[in-house]
Structure 1
């Protein structure tokens, strides 16, 4: 395969998943120039690679690596593949002298923690959160093992991405049932818009000094009912069960110190970014 001379952006591993498709839509429409220049990975694509097998030669030298590839559901033995995929990405980066490597972890590592969740904390409450925290541990272990050849690596504890998360998926599928707590409000969640995510990722790829883990969200916690109203979705309330989590909020101080000021998440802004990245209401 002959690479395009315009391809001087990052290698994006896992470009065919929901988040990868959203980011590529932004890139192809000219909203994310660095993405348009990226090398997009999949089992087919600019760079075809089954990540459970040895990595083939790259057609060119990309500017950093973004690891979107991962497993989001299934039993623990399937979720364990998140660590394997991260290890494969680091070994490719070490082999070809690439970096930094940005690996998508998840806010799920904080479980049911209350208040702004900070990077020094982690208390996963489900199998997915535990798998992502294990992935972070494996990344640190692999970086140590690789020694001088190790790439710079940062695990990004990603908030809900507008247009790519469960709520937006439910809106796209039909009517939504939303938990209402005794105080009269629904769940509030940390969010980032896909265009905001793309721009933050581009900034991080050009940053020399990255921490091992970093929260990635727009500041604030957005009421889910506000998202439903902003999108014009069909929805109704139900009493929140005792197990429902009222709020997830990420501390974004470290991110702002590295990437600069980031706009507070708002429901209209998140819906607009989701639509820009290809999301549509049912």
Structure 2
């Protein structure tokens, strides 16, 4: 199946940039024209991409009519990546405001066109679970340990309730750490330190590779029916130290404070079940095989901007990844 007509809110964010880089090739592999049917939104202009349409420049909170217009015209899905980012001086309540704006715009666009409302997929976070031991499923209680996690939990609550009220299908994607877009690989700098717990380990988290994330999101957008809550990660936790070693980045240890969270592992069985209908055996393998730090670092290497010039990564990231990992590993793509 090709890409559905999709509106992506937050094209200038970290995930949005990965999608703009990876989706043209994914779309062409699925039989669609590269980038066809994808409408991007950003508050600010973005560098031109030869295979990706320029984003619509609008603020969803200040221009609700413009957002409705962007979604109108047979849009089947809205992927809301827009939100506040820790440390950027933004109001964390914007997570809820932006999510609800997307749901309201989808309802209004459907009302104007007389067609069913677009499905809305929201970018949430594993941070909603906080400090809990064991495998965390979508039915686990929420216990956010910081303001960011609490804001994402509130966003889920408000947007899902609004979706039910307005008849808009809404799914909150509880995304684990994204290798390269996280504070470990993405935030590394000389003198970097990692927490070390009494068992000698660094923090462990459920991770997903950047290219795999792009493929999973593309596959989810093709599904006609999604549950309201969905964990999104690869199987098994990865030590943060393992990622830095795989990337050959030096770090020092520091004793973990009492408030540090040693492990967050997401149960992704529901995600695998949803995508079992996608017919992508390679993607199923990637989600069922234990996550691999070296593989995730390789994914990051083909999409990250060059350090000196800031240009995009490899032109065809999936093909490049296949060449780098050789035929024996290509089944994991």
- TM-score, normalized by the shorter chain, greater than 0.5: yes
Q: 1:272 to 1:177 in 2, by over 3 A?
A: same
Q: 1:190 to 1:156 in 2, by over 3 A?
A: same
1:3 counterpart residue number: none
Contact 1:25–1:278 under 8 Å retained in 2: no
1:50 paired with 2:59, answer: yes
2:100 pairs with one of 87, 93, 116: 87
User: Which range moved further: 210-219 or 39-48?
Assistant: 39-48
Q: Deviations over 1:140-161 (max 9, x none)?
A: 2211221xxx322100001011
1:271 paired with 2:297, answer: yes
Distance 1:107 1:24 in 2: 23
Q: How does 1:70-85 map to 2 (within 5 A)?
A: 70-73=83-86, 78-85=91-98
1:131 paired with 2:151, answer: yes
The structural deviation recorded for 1:82 is: 0.6
Contact 1:187–1:223 under 8 Å retained in 2: yes
1:184 paired with 2:184, answer: no
Q: How does 1:1-282 map to 2 (within 5 A)?
A: 9-27=5-23, 30-31=25-26, 33=28, 36-37=35-36, 38-43=38-43, 44=45, 45-53=54-62, 54-56=64-66, 57-58=69-70, 61-73=74-86, 78-97=91-110, 98-121=117-140, 122-146=142-166, 150-171=167-188, 173-260=189-276, 261=284, 262=287, 263-278=289-304
Q: 1:32 to 1:116 in 2, by over 3 A?
A: farther
Distance 1:103 1:245 in 2: 25
Aligned residues between the structures: 272
Distance 1:75 1:20 in 2: 17
In the alignment, structure 2 segments of 5+ residues that lack a partner are 46-53, 111-116, 277-283, 309-333
The structural deviation recorded for 1:61 is: 3.7
Does 1 or 2 have the higher relative contact order (CA < 8 Å, sep 6+)? 1
Distance 1:228 1:246 in 2: 17
Q: 1:18 to 1:234 in 2, by over 3 A?
A: same
Output the TM-score relative to the length of structure 1: 0.88
Q: 1:8 to 1:200 in 2, by over 3 A?
A: closer
> In structure 1, the residue corresponding to 2:243 is in which secondary structure?
helix
Q: 1:32 to 1:264 in 2, by over 3 A?
A: farther
Q: 1:116 to 1:181 in 2, by over 3 A?
A: same
Q: 1:174 to 1:61 in 2, by over 3 A?
A: farther
Distance 1:167 1:281 in 2: 17
Q: Deviations over 1:218-252 (max 9, x none)?
A: 11100111100111112111222222211110011
Contact 1:76–1:131 under 8 Å retained in 2: no
The structural deviation recorded for 1:7 is: 9.0
The structural deviation recorded for 1:47 is: 1.7
In the alignment, structure 1 segments of 5+ residues that lack a partner are 1-5
User: Which range moved further: 215-224 or 191-200?
Assistant: 191-200
Please give the root-mean-square deviation of Cα atoms over the aligned residues, in Å: 2.4
Contact 2:123–2:173 under 8 Å retained in 1: yes
User: Which range moved further: 218-227 or 92-101?
Assistant: 92-101
Q: 1:55 to 1:164 in 2, by over 3 A?
A: farther
Contact 2:247–2:297 under 8 Å retained in 1: yes
